[in-house]
Amino acid sequence: MSLMPWFGGGRGGMDPFSSDLWDPLGASWPWDGGRRGSEGGSRDDATAMARTNVDWHENDKEHIFSAEIPGVRKEDVKVEVEDGNVLKISGEKTREEEHKDDAWNRVERSFGSFMRRFRLPENAKADGIRCTMQDGVLRVVVPKDEQAQKQRNVRSIDIA
């Protein structure tokens, strides 16, 4: 189960119905209220980083998380386990260089921090997690605990 993504900032970061999270027409309208000025619009930066896409699939032996984080160096990514059962993936994409004297026509690349959390299932073996990062994709492998799978005791209850 995925917990709600967090991307910092003000109240909009906590409101799932905030227009910051989903603005299908904002990028194409010329009258956007100055949101995307020559500075690039920090509101949109946070929103774009919040959309860090993560796939989660599993096989008999492990859970596999794949996160798309292009342009983020592996040194700027953290993978942690909180409370023994919550996988936390976080990081920050920083601006490479400033061109203060340049006149910007369009800024579409996003910068900012991101964080995703996933509640791990009971059969996850958190102390055996492995991570790799290649071509902008972070891969987190969480092995399954075979004992936890075998200990599941299911019994049928008669319906009266």
- Which of the pair, 69 or 105, is modelled with greater confidence? 69
Q: Sort 2 into a burial class: Cβ within 10 Å, 0-12 / 13-18 / 19+.
A: exposed
CATH number of the domain at 11-18+39-96+108-147, please? 2.60.40.790
Residue 111 is predicted with a pLDDT of 80
Task: Return the higher-pLDDT residue of 28 and 56.
Answer: 56
- Does 82 have pLDDT greater than 60? yes
Asked whether the CA dihedral 119, 122, 127, 129 is positive or negative, the reply is negative
Q: Which residues contact 40 (CB under 8 A, 6 or more apart)?
A: 104, 107
Domain ranges across the chain: 11-18+39-96+108-147
Q: Is the pTM higher than 0.75?
A: no
Residues 6+ apart with CB under 8 A from 26: 32, 35, 44
Lowest model confidence (mean pLDDT) among 1-15, 73-87, 100-114: 1-15
- Do 41 and 32 meet the contact criterion of CB atoms below 8 Å apart? no
